[in-house]
Amino acid sequence: MLRSKLLLSVTLAAGAVAAAPASARDEAPEFSLGTAFTYQGSLQQRGQPAEGSHDLAFELYDSAEGGVFLGRIDRLDHPVAGGAFAVELDFGVDVFALDTAWLEVQVRPAGGGAYTTLAPRQRAASVAGACVVNGDVLINGELDVDPVGAQVGIDVACCNSADLAGGGQLVLGGFLQELAFDNDTIQSRAFGAAPYQFTINPQGGNVGIGVASPQAPLQLPGAPDVAPSSGGALVIGPVNGPNIAVDQNEIMARNNGSVTTLTLNANGGNVNLGGSLGIGYQIVTHEEVAEIVFVQCPAGKKVLGGGCYTDDNVISPDLLILSHPGNNGWQCFYEDSSGSTVTAYAICARVH
């Protein structure tokens, strides 16, 4: 009586590596992983490890019981030592890319007699699978890792150590320094720990985020207008704490949904704005036909300066008696405005 204690593991067979002609190898060596794999099993007879040659048969089905027959491979007079055997199989299809693939193993002593079907069928799933190719590899087409029906590039199935805490789905590099990817994160690591420096275009070049053809070292797309609690193309700091938000034409200091003080050169130094200075100021005007005209700044702002003019923009020195600022407004006095429309204006700003 034959009994089985089967271990299924998969390594891509060395024979599946196809060498290109010498001239082609010089340009770009090519390797094909093929559909062959190695099946390793442990066979017992009357409770003891089987020895000697046996005839083995492997049938492929699409379910654990019954199902559709997909192919058969016979290995006659195959050696078994200490109950262990290994055999290379190739059904002509990638059994690990199938949604379901089950192997049924049949065995008999070498030379004839009835086969004994070992039960249950074994699910075709890789265990500690590995492929090592020494040299350059040219992939002319798609590289599929795990999933069926990959569309482009490298497609890695979800949920295989999906998050970076579990190792990531794709790791480039090695233990000393590596770049790891999961569904929504890229992380640079060194010596198996994060974080580590992450550099883009170290030799120069433009980077665009959401921009097809960046025209600057870093270019961001248009974004919602900066507001105290939202908006901006770039936010530095936590959204529920102190941060600086930038849109196309504004810089705003915020703290948990409210505006706060924006400080430049807190420890000293000059600030060169390269043009006109206008930080939070506004010009307020008031006009009327009168000899005394007063304009007031909005609540919370103080007057920095101001002036007066008539409707023809000419003020005769002997008509202008006095113009002066108050705490939050500007006032103009005329000895005789001669019925002209007189305008007073004030430059207002929030001053601490």
Per-residue pLDDT band for 9 (boundaries 50, 70, 90) equals: very low
pLDDT exceeds 60 at position 74: yes
* 236, 241, 247, 249 alpha-carbon torsion, rounded to 10°: -100
Q: Enumerate residues 6+ apart whose C-beta is below 8 A from 205.
A: 217
pLDDT at residue number 167:
74
Q: How far is CA 351 from CA 50, 132, 189, 300, 302, in A?
A: 94, 70, 48, 9, 6
Would you list the domain boundaries of the chain?
2-123, 143-189, 217-262, 281-349
| pLDDT tens per residue, range 243-284 | 999 998 899 999 999 999 888 888 878 777 776 666 667 889
For the chain, how big is the Rg over CA atoms in Å?
Answer: 40
Task: Give the list of residues 6+ apart from residue 336 with CB closer than 8 angstroms, or none.
Answer: 291, 319
Amino acid at 54: H
Burial class (CB in 10 A: 0-12, 13-18, 19+), 290: middle
Positive or negative, the CA dihedral 63, 68, 70, 76 is positive
pLDDT of residue 12: 29
**pLDDT above 50 for 20:** no
Of the candidate ranges 14-28, 78-92, 120-134, 213-227, the one whose mean pLDDT is the lowest = 14-28
CATH number attached to the domain at 2-123: 2.60.40
The pLDDT tens digits for 301-334 are 888 888 887 766 555 544 554 555 666 788 887 7
Kindly tell me if the per-residue pLDDT of 210 is higher than 70.
Answer: yes
How are strands ordered across the β-sheet holding 320-325?
292-296, 329-334, 320-325
CATH of domain 281-349: 2.60.40
Q: What backbone phi and psi angles, to 5 degrees, belong to 57?
A: -130, 135
Looking at the predicted structure, is the pLDDT value of residue 41 above 90?
Answer: no
